[in-house]
Amino acid sequence: MIDQTGTVFKSASRDSKGKSIFKFPHYICASFENSNMVIYVSDHGTKKITRLNEDLRVLQTFMCRDVPCPRDMKSLGSQYLLVVNWKLGEPSTLYAVDVTTGRFTLLLGRQENLRGMRCVATKPGLESVYVTQWLDGYDMVTEYRIK
């Protein structure tokens, strides 16, 4: 974390045991859970999502077995996290992660043969998601309905 003058006052690279937390941290998002701020960091080098408190201490990690390249994330309150999986040349997928159990549920991707998904936003109630995509040289925003 940095202040408005650019001075670093907090950083995290190792856990309480001195082990490196990240290999290739890619995306970050923050949320308030029970009035406490939490930060999620996706890492496509370790294939993990790390949950940190506002002091940048590791609270939890989620192994992304079916998500080889976790990218953008969107917190949906205190229970769910949306995670975009995108690796060049492979179909993109969108997962909901239950942060209380660590369970990943596929929402979009395999059947729809999605490509180039990068970032995600939602309508309230998760009836639709909006994703930015790069497809065959074109950048676009697409709305998908969640079944």
Alpha-carbon span 115 to 87, nearest angstrom: 9
pTM: 0.83
Q: How large is the C-alpha radius of gyration of the chain?
A: 16
Span 31-59, pLDDT tens digits: 888 888 999 999 888 888 999 999 999 99
* pLDDT value of residue 71: 80
* pLDDT value of residue 110: 66
Alpha-carbon span 127 to 134, nearest angstrom: 23
Positions of the chain with pLDDT lower than 50, given as ranges:
none
Delimit the domains of the chain by residue range. Answer: 25-145
- Percent of the chain exceeding pLDDT 90 equals 18
Name the DSSP letter for residue 2.
Answer: B
Asked if CATH classification 2.60.40.10 holds for the domain at 25-145, the reply, yes or no, is no
Q: What's the token pair of residue 113?
A: 């043969």
Establish how many alpha carbons lie within 13 A of residue 11's alpha carbon, considering only the half-sphere containing its beta carbon: 7
3-state secondary structure 26-46: EEEEEEEECCEEEEEEEECCC
